[in-house]
Amino acid sequence: MSAESIKDNQELRMTNVLSLRKKLSTIELQSETVRIGKFIEEGGYTKTGPTVTATFAVDQQAGTQVLDVEMLIPLDKEFIPPDGCVCKPEIILTNAVSIRHTGNPSGLQGTCNLLMAYIQENGLQPITCGYNVTIKEPKTPAEVDQMIVDVYIGLSPNTL
């Protein structure tokens, strides 16, 4: 992975977005993902793009890792959100840098570190957390090493 794989002036756009933001353990996050998947399937909705996640903080509570995470799923039509979720008519992230991670998700942090180093080396000012766009999800455990995630971080357009 090199700086050549980092792209400037990127944009992320989604419409009719189902958003869930909560503080959850990884087990609770998996169960919420299943619940939202059932809502989409039973409601006759279709995803119009990849699932996007943003992690705002990671804490330890009673020996368990707790994530302050938002899951964003663009759908094909307007909807009334399920309990605990909201509908965001549009999400636009502009003036972002992005990097693609290909491989096991255990290496994603290293890819994010490369992107943060690029931001620092170029005197850029991040104004969002990283938004992880899952381009290729593993369908089986054997496919986990072929996973593809694009990471976007919004930057301040100001030069100070």
**Which residues have C-beta within 8 Å of that of residue 74, sequence separation ≥ 6?**
14, 15, 16, 17, 18, 47, 48, 49
Domain extent, residue 119, equals: 3-155
**Domain count within the chain:** 1
Q: Please, what is the end-to-end C-alpha distance for the chain in angstroms?
A: 30
Evaluate whether residue 11 is within a structural domain: yes
Specify the CATH number for the domain of residue 49. 3.20.80.10
Evaluate whether residue 15 is within a structural domain: yes
Q: Please give the residue that has the higher pLDDT: either 13 or 5.
A: 13
Q: Please report which helix (H) or strand (E) contains residue 30, including its range.
A: helix 26-42
Instruction: Note the pLDDT tens digit of each residue in 94-133.
Output: 999 999 999 988 888 899 999 999 999 999 999 999 999 9
| C-beta atoms surrounding 19 within 10 Å | 17
- 1 pLDDT band, cuts 50/70/90, is very low
Evaluate whether residue 41 is within a structural domain: yes
Evaluate whether residue 40 is within a structural domain: yes
pLDDT the model gives residue 143 = 83
Evaluate whether residue 160 is within a structural domain: no
Instruction: Note the pLDDT tens digit of each residue in 56-75.
Output: 998 888 888 899 999 999 99
